[in-house]
Amino acid sequence: MKTINSLGCMLALATLLIAAVPPTDPARYQKAMELSIKKIDTAKTKEQFLTGAAQFERIAQAEATEWLPAYWAAYSYAMATARETDKTQKDALLDKMDNWVDTGLRRSANNDELLVLRAMSAQMRLPVDPMNRWMKYGPVIGQSLELAKKQNPANPRVDLVYGQNFYFTPEQFGGGCKKALPYLQSAQQKWKSFVPASSIAPNWGTQDLAHYLGKCQS
């Protein structure tokens, strides 16, 4: 009987403790996101981006319905991958990136920004073994960007990643600057009127655009 009473007391206490936990504080969430984004905006090294990814992962786990922490975790892994030289480690980082893209899409289906990251991940897997990976990842790039463009034709990052894809594709396979430039110029036009949805929404890409325009217009 004492055991039953003790169990009942424990369950009651647990219920009270759960009820006492306050709901998510929107202001704290906003502040945590802004600080974390600020850190990756100034990050330079793989290690700094991995630290940023870990911060966004913690926020994403605490904010189970928000897609933006998952988005920024995935983006941070993309930036870390770009600074990794070991092919095996690149794939491992991109696996983590894909996991967070998938998490974000479960929270915000067909989100154009997340679809851009899905295309980026596939794009970054190709150089590891281009001849054997094109059949698998080439369609992922095209399908993801087409759906992203359908969801939000005004998103300049869609055209930016299209342009990057053609830039890195050899001319003999239908790529090169001549094919990339119209997409890069389209992205440039769209950026003139682009306004991020909030202080924690995606707002990257202008420096990348300037880099590729410089390469293709020189």
Same domain for 123 and 168?
no
What tokens were used for 87?
């092919």
In angstroms, the CA 47 to CA 171 distance is 35
In a domain, 164, yes or no: yes
Q: How many helices (H) and strands (E) does the chain have?
A: 10, 0
Task: Give 179's contacts (C-beta < 8 A, 6+ positions apart).
Answer: 166, 169
In a domain, 104, yes or no: yes
In a domain, 100, yes or no: yes
In a domain, 174, yes or no: yes
Same domain for 106 and 159?
no
Sign, CA torsion 54/90/104/211: positive
Same domain for 124 and 164?
no
In angstroms, the CA 70 to CA 54 distance is 11
Q: Tens digits of per-residue pLDDT, 52-74?
A: 999 999 999 999 999 999 999 99
Mean pLDDT of 33-38: 98
In angstroms, the CA 78 to CA 5 distance is 53
Same domain for 160 and 89?
no
In a domain, 13, yes or no: no
What tokens were used for 52?
């940023």
Model confidence band, residue 118 (pLDDT cutoffs 50, 70, 90): very high
Same domain for 157 and 204?
yes
Same domain for 117 and 185?
no
Same domain for 34 and 120?
yes
Q: Tens digits of per-residue pLDDT, 182-202?
A: 999 999 999 999 999 999 999
User: What's the whole-model pTM score?
Assistant: 0.88
Same domain for 124 and 163?
no
In a domain, 42, yes or no: yes
In a domain, 15, yes or no: no
Mean pLDDT of 137-162: 98
Same domain for 41 and 94?
yes
Nearest to 110 by CA among 54, 151, 160: 151
Q: Which domain holds residue 83?
A: 29-128
Specify the number of domains making up the chain. 2
114 in Cβ contact with 71 (< 8 Å)? yes
pLDDT value, residue 18:
32
Same domain for 157 and 92?
no
In a domain, 3, yes or no: no
